[in-house]
Each structure stands twice: as structure tokens, then as C-alpha cells.
Amino acid sequence: MRDLTKDFDYDRLVREEKEHFSQIAVTADLREGGVQAASAWQRYWDRQRPAIQASGFANLGAYLSRAMGDLARPIEVLSLGSGYCGHELTLARSFTRDYRIHCTDINEDLFTQARAVARGEKLNVDFCAADINFLNLEPRRYDLIFAHAVVHHVINLEHLFAQLAEGLAPDGILHLVDVVGKNRKLIWDENEQFANALLAQLPAHVTRGVRLAVPEGDDGMEGIRQQEILAELRKTFTPLFELRHGAFMRFVCTHPELGPALGSSGPEAQHCLEFLLDCDDSAVRNGLLRPLEIWGVYRVASQR
């Protein structure tokens, strides 16, 4: 497969990635903070949890501990683009049998706090610097490959998915949580227009007259090929469970003005937020708008 990073100033992109993620606020449980921790965005995820819980994959540690209870070796987990490793530490705590979690990231400096937590809690988690644009995996090794909000930073998508298929054990699964919208912008133009039409119907004293105006970005590898993720994924993997969701609410809930206004405790703001959440869900469910988000568990297509 051709190395597509050669079509870019790749050293600059890597440098921008490292600089950006070294400056992000981090929560106490080592997850991305700032707007990602806003109450309106948390309410959005509360609405997705029933479907995820019903899938049987919400607690992957418990699922794998049951499904692979006869293994004579530890359950092997590979995490891609682990960052601050809050999700991976939570996963480690959920196992009820022997496991090993291998965390990778292009920026090894992000591991500092997670290393200390893993050591203090005696969690079987190790950490390694790796660029997943050039990933090479040992064949049939991993029972779970965990990719949380990282694949939309990948240029060599074809190489990555081929390696993930190669690296999974015969009954192994891929867990993918990511965004899959318009390259470099994420939200599709028609989704943005729809959201603004809805905002125009809400009381101006709640929305403060604010509308979405999402710019296209060009820093780092953020969203560089994200609209191609699903098509490339489908060539190699088949879903055991897949939730496509979120037509525009990410941009409403994490907006620096709209998010706090709609996430306030006042009943009018709460009603407006629930109205927007209902519209977002209905637009995706009925095929009116393309979803921007995906939460899924997959198996290599030939193994289904």
C-alpha cells in the first residue's frame, strides 16, 4: 500500500498534533476535559447509553472476561492513540481475569499521569510511543483492539485497517469510537443549516442569538480523512454492534456560548436542550441527515 503521508508535510503535522494535545485540559479521571466535559455534552451521551448498554458491549472488560474465560493466557488488548489513557485505566479495572493492555500514542509525554496511576493501582498496563500511520502488528495476537477518537487522525487508513485485521486473534474484536463526518470540518453543510434553522425557533434569550458557523481546519491530522473511515472499515470488518448517531449536537453542546446556556439548570434551557436532542436523534434515525459519530464493535469480516 502506498504511504499517503508522503503527500503532506508530515513532520509539521506530527509536530502540530503533539503541541495541540499537550495543551488540552484533562479531567481527574484522565479523559479529555474542557468543552468535552460540558454538562450539555454529558447529557447528550446520557441519551446514547441505553442503546450501548443494550448491546452487551458497554463493559468490554466484563464481556471479554466472560467470552474468553477458557483462555490459558491473559486477554491481550491493544489501545491505539491512547492519549491520557483514562479509558484504558477504566477498562483495566473492569477485568475479572488476567489481562494485559498495551497503550500506544505518538506523544509519549501524555502517558506520565497514567503510568503513575497504573503503577499505584498495580494495573497490568504498559505504554509505548507509536505512530499508527505505520503500525505493524504481530499476527493474531490481540483479543481486543481499542480505538477511541483516534482513527480520524490517520492518513494511511488502508494500511491501518489491514493491520488491525492481521493483528486480531481469531475471536478478537475491534472497538471503534470515532467521528465520521466531513473531512477537516466534521459537520456536513446541510447538518449545520438544519441545526441553525432549529436554533432560530428557540427563545433568543436562551440561545443568545448564537448560530453555528463551523470553520474548516488544517492543523495537525484532525479529521484529515474521516469521511472515508466507514467505507474503508467496511472492506475488512463487519459490525457486531454499531450505533451511528449525532447529526449536529456535538457542535451545539460544546459551543462556548450555546453549551453553557443550554446546559444550565433552568427548566427552559433544559426543555430547549431536550428538544434539540430529540430533533438530532430523529434526523439520524429517519435518514434525514448523515450521522457524524459512531460507536461500534466489529469482527474481521471473514470470521463472522
What does DSSP say about strands 142-148 and 99-105: parallel, antiparallel, or unpaired? unpaired
Give the separation between CA 246 and CA 178, rounded to whole angstroms: 11
pLDDT, tens only, 222-239: 999 999 999 999 999 999
C-alpha cell at 231: 467505507
Beta bridge partners of 144: 77, 173
Name the band, by pLDDT with cuts 50, 70 and 90, for residue 303.
low
CA distances from 156 to 129, 160, 237 (A): 18, 6, 17
C-alpha cell at 134: 505505520
pLDDT, tens only, 150-179: 999 999 999 999 999 999 999 999 999 999
Strand order in the sheet with 125-129: 125-129, 99-105, 75-80, 142-148, 168-179, 293-300, 237-245
pLDDT, tens only, 67-94: 998 899 999 999 999 999 999 999 999 9
pLDDT, tens only, 112-127: 999 999 999 999 999 9
Looking at residue 219, what is its pLDDT? 87
Residue type, 249: M
Looking at residue 35, what is its pLDDT? 84
Asked whether the beta carbons of 75 and 64 are under 8 A apart, the reply is yes
Backbone angles phi, psi at 263, to 5 degrees: -90, 5
Mean pLDDT across the stretch 298-302? 93
Q: Which residues contact 91 (CB under 8 A, 6 or more apart)?
A: 60, 61, 77, 101, 146
4-179+226-247+291-303 belongs to which homologous superfamily?
A: Vaccinia Virus protein VP39 (3.40.50.150)
The pTM score is 0.95
Which residue stretches of the chain are H helix?
10-21, 39-55, 60-67, 86-94, 112-121, 157-167, 189-199, 204-207, 229-236, 249-253, 258-262, 267-285
